[in-house]
Structure 1
């Protein structure tokens, strides 16, 4: 039974791209940097958040095609869709590092959204092209505008939990490449 478990684990692990020590170190460093800069200071990471903003703004008319009521949600859905689609793509390819980095981008989007969410009542963040604040409209519809900052903190916490789970998975992939698993044929 142990031989079967070891060989099935070996085939499962070997199907995924190997996580090298430098790749694991880079992913860990990026995780720490993104977690820090996404939740402190200006909370704006230029290259990522500029892309996030582009997907956010594109999401409004795209999701608006489905329904006028859906248009306000389209920004948030738009900025989450692209990282999630790329994550799933790399997951299907069993590319551990690329999938992790796309999931990290997805979580960084959650943190970016939490900043916008926390601003629903205060409305001090600059809006592209003026207009209505998405999260003011959304939380007003849900009758929970007064909970904007609490919901924002919960979204930050959710992101931290998700990234820890993803990092732990990446760690397991990195660790598994270092431990040679017994081959069922070596016992004959």
Structure 2
């Protein structure tokens, strides 16, 4: 029975560590700060809801101002992964766009110990999947305006990241399905992020009154 008891204790300890990591609430959150965070969460919920239920073809995420923040990280990803060959160079834009909000989430979670800020970072991470979905779905059509004003059809092979990636992997005919998958993954992540942030704020309120 001792090995079983030891295993149970390890599970309890692990649960406690995870709870402390993801649901940690600082004791010095002011009432005004709490109100501000509630407003931020409400904006993310409403905004995210609109993006989630917009069609991929509408490119709602790509037309939002947040796309302007995502684009530099996309382009930086291309630069960073350029030395690793043409495939990773093309994939690097997507990786850079996804890694930056993920890094922010981890930093907020582990270094600054701000779980609400981490939930906002996770929402941003999910939003980037929605931002990428129209680009993925445009792989065959090649009509989406790209950086510089060109389209996929008007550009040399390899300029449109996802046309190149899906062609090289033999998955080009699945571009619409992969775009829907990206949109779906992003939607789930954004909703989980809002739920996480909401629970953290609820716990913050309960511990501050």
Q: TM-score range by the shorter chain?
A: 0.7 to 0.9
Task: String of CA shifts for 1:101-147, please: whole Å, max 9, x gaps.
Answer: 22221111110111101111111111224442111111112211111
Aligned residues: 174
Highest RCO, 1 vs 2 (Cα 8 Å, sep ≥ 6): 1
Matched residue, 1:81: 99
Gaps of 5+ in 2: 1-12
CA contact (8 A) 2:109 2:115 kept: yes
Q: Matched residues in 2 for 1:81 and 1:16: separation?
A: 30
Question: Which stretch shows the higher mean deviation, 11-20 or 96-105?
Answer: 11-20
1:90 equivalent in alignment to 2:108:
yes
Q: Matched residues in 2 for 1:173 and 1:17: separation?
A: 14
Gaps of 5+ in 1: 182-188
Secondary structure of 2:187 counterpart: helix
TM-score (norm 2): 0.72
Q: Matched residues in 2 for 1:62 and 1:180: separation?
A: 44
The CA deviation at 1:42 is 4.3
CA contact (8 A) 2:130 2:187 kept: no
Secondary structure of 2:113 counterpart: coil
Q: Matched residues in 1 for 2:161 and 2:197: separation?
A: 34
TM-score (norm 1): 0.79
The CA deviation at 1:45 is 4.2
Q: Matched residues in 1 for 2:133 and 2:109: separation?
A: 26
Matched residue, 1:186: none
